[in-house]
Amino acid sequence: MSDTIFGKIARGELPARKVHEDDLCVAFHDVAPQAPTHLLVIPRQPIPRLSQAQDGDEPLLGHLLRVAARVAKQAGLADYRLVVNDGAGAGQTVFHLHVHVLGGRPMGWPPG
């Protein structure tokens, strides 16, 4: 598994405030929240970037989105934004695929 901070969280080597955990992924609170509710959903499988996912990863990618919706609902969010940054130029700082679940405040458009 990837030796990023998210890989270490997925393996249980680093603590996180987890809100969901299953065989495929882990969801937890972001340590530097950008909204009142800011959760991350990460696959246990180390995929560095969305653009590096393979055709066989489609069931996993769908699972990440379903878990994102589930944890948003559990957090009491009626409206929320999902964000996946792909590459440093897009703002990705940890190269282990992750879905941001942001909510608890109005979201403007365009986002950045």
| Cα 31 to Cα 5: distance, rounded to the nearest angstrom | 12
Q: Which of 38, 96, 98, 100 is labelled catalytic?
A: 98
Which H or E run contains 99? strand 99-103
Looking up tokens 């969801």, which residue turns up? Answer: 27
What are residue 25's DSSP bridge partners?
A: 43
User: Does the annotation count 98 as an active-site position?
Assistant: yes
Which one, of 13, 9, 38, 14, lies nearest residue 26 by Cα?
Answer: 9
**Two structure tokens written together for 103:** 């909510």
DSSP state of 76: T
Catalytic residues: 98
